[in-house]
Amino acid sequence: MENFKDAWNVICDYCSHEMTDVAYNTWIKKIEPVGLDFDKKVAVLLVPNDFHRQTLERCYKILLEKSFKAVFDSDIEIEFTIPSEDNKDDAEVEIMDNGYEYTFDTFIVGNSNKFAHAACLAVAQNPSKAYNPLFLYGNSGLGKTHLLYAIGNEIKKNDSSKSICYVKGDDFTNELIESLHRANMSEFRQKYRYADVLLVDDVQFIGGKESTQEEFFHTFETLYLAQKQIILTSDRPPKEIKTLDDRLRGRFEMGLIADIQPPDIETRIAIIKRKAEIMDIEIPNDVCEYIAANVKSNIRQLEGTVKKIKAKNNLDGEKPSIKSVQNIIADILNNDTPPEVTVEKITEEVARTFNVSVDDLKNSKNRSAYISGPRQVAIYIINELTTLTQEKIGQEFGGRDHSTVKYAIDTTAKKMKKDSNLRSIVEDIIKNCST
C-alpha cells in the first residue's frame, strides 16, 4: 500500500463488517489517520473530541487493534489525539474545523431563502436577542447546514470567547446512550448546558425517543433561561414532527420558524457561477443556464455538477459545453436517487426509536412487550418498504416462521388504527428510513 491512508481505508472496511452501520458511522467514520511509525509499531489517529476518544478507548480499541493486525500482520499500538488539548469546547473545535468554508459570504441568497438568511444573519449579529430559538426547515440539500455553520462562524468571529456547540440530532441520542452506559451524565450535561450557542442539525431524529427528548428538554430549558442562543434545523416544521413531545414542540414554536424552498432558476445560475469561481473553472453562460434548467431541486447536485466539470477539464482539457455536461447531469441525477431501504437500516432506526438493541430485535427470544412490540413494528415496516417475502423476513429475525411474521404485521396494523401515537411513530420511522 502506498501510504497510511490507503491502509486506513482497508481497516475501515474491516471494521464496518464487525459492527452496525450506526456504530460505524458514529465512531469509526469520523476518525482521520495521522501517522504510522512501523518501527515503533504505533499508529496515531485524530478524533473529533475527548468524548469521542474516551468512547473509542473503552468500546472499540480492541476492534481497531484487531483490524490493524489483520492488515499489517503485526500488533500496532493505537494512540488517539484530538484537534486541541486546551480549554476549547470539543464540539466547538469540530464545527470550526469542519465548517470554516460555510459563511454568509459564500451563501447565495435568492427568493427561496432570503427570509431564512436574514433571520440567521440577525441571530449571528445579536445572539439570544433577535430570535430565540431559531428553527430552520426544508428538504435536504437546500443550505440549512450551511446557514447553521455560518451563524457559528460569524458569532465566533465577532466574539472569540463564545462557546459554540454543534451536534446532529441522532448523535445527541448516541452520546446520551453512551453517557448513561458509562454513568457519566455530568460530562454530557456540561458539554451541552454550558454552551453560549447550541446548534442542532436534523433535530427531527430525536422524535419518538423518550429519554432523549427528556434530556433535550432540560438542556433547552437551561440554555433558554440563561439567555443562550439555540438554533435548530429539520426537514419539516415542528408541527409535522408527529413523534415530538408536546413540550418540545411548544418550545420550538415559541421562537422564529423559517423555511427554505428549492432555489429558483436565477438563484441556481448564481450558485453555479459562484461554485465555478471558487473552483477556478470558467463555465459559459449558456452552459450555466442549461445546468440550472435541468438540475432544479438540490444545491448539492449543482455543486456536484460543477465538480465533475472541473474534473473532466483537468483530465482531458475539454472546455465545458452543453454537449459535454449532458452526461454529467444524467449521472448526477441518477446518483441522487434515494438509497435502497434495507433491513439493516430499518432495524437500526427502530432500535434507536425504541431504545433497544438491534440484536435483541432480530435474535432475542425475549417476548416481553419491551422487545416484542418494537420487533413487530420492525417486521411491519420491512414488509411495507422492502420486497422481501414473509418467509425471508422471518429468516432475518432469528428464523421465525411465516405465521409469526404475519401475526406481527397484522397486530401492528391493528394497533396503529387504535393508537395514533404509535401510528405517528411508525410514519416517522418510515420517513427517516426513506431519506
Cβ atoms of residues 90 and 51 within 8 Å: yes
Where do the CATH 1.10.1750.10 domains begin and end in the chain?
343-433
CATH of 4-81, one of 3.30.420.280, 3.30.930.10, 2.40.50.140, 3.30.300.180: 3.30.300.180
Cβ atoms of residues 299 and 271 within 8 Å: yes
Would you give per-residue pLDDT tens digits along the chain (435 residues)? Answer: 446 777 898 898 888 887 777 678 778 888 988 888 877 888 999 988 776 787 788 778 888 998 898 888 788 999 998 875 433 444 444 444 445 668 888 888 988 899 999 999 999 999 988 899 999 998 888 889 899 999 998 998 898 888 888 888 888 888 888 888 777 788 888 888 888 999 999 999 888 788 889 999 999 999 999 999 999 999 899 988 888 889 999 999 999 999 998 888 898 999 999 888 888 888 999 989 989 988 887 788 888 888 888 877 777 677 888 888 887 887 666 655 555 678 888 998 888 888 888 888 887 776 777 788 999 999 999 988 887 888 889 988 988 888 899 999 999 999 988 888 888 888 888 877 766
Copy the grid coordinates of residue 110. 435568492
Under CATH, which architecture does the 90-259 domain have?
3-Layer(aba) Sandwich (3.40)
Where do the CATH 3.30.300.180 domains begin and end in the chain?
4-81
Where do the CATH 3.40.50.300 domains begin and end in the chain?
90-259
Per-residue pLDDT of 334-389, as tens digits, reads 655 555 678 888 998 888 888 888 888 887 776 777 788 999 999 999 988 887 88
| pTM for this entry | 0.62
Other beta carbons within 10 Å of 170: 22
CATH of 265-335, one of 1.10.1140.10, 1.20.120.1750, 3.90.79.10, 1.10.8.60: 1.10.8.60
Cβ atoms of residues 78 and 35 within 8 Å: no
Strands 229-234 and 134-137: parallel
Cα dihedral: 128, 129, 130, 135 (round 10): 20
**Distance between CA atoms of residues 291 and 229, nearest Å:** 38
Under CATH, which architecture does the 343-433 domain have?
Orthogonal Bundle (1.10)
Cβ atoms of residues 45 and 80 within 8 Å: yes
**Distance between CA atoms of residues 76 and 421, nearest Å:** 50
Cβ atoms of residues 270 and 299 within 8 Å: no
Cα of 326 vs its chain's centroid, Å: 31
Rg (CA), the chain: 24
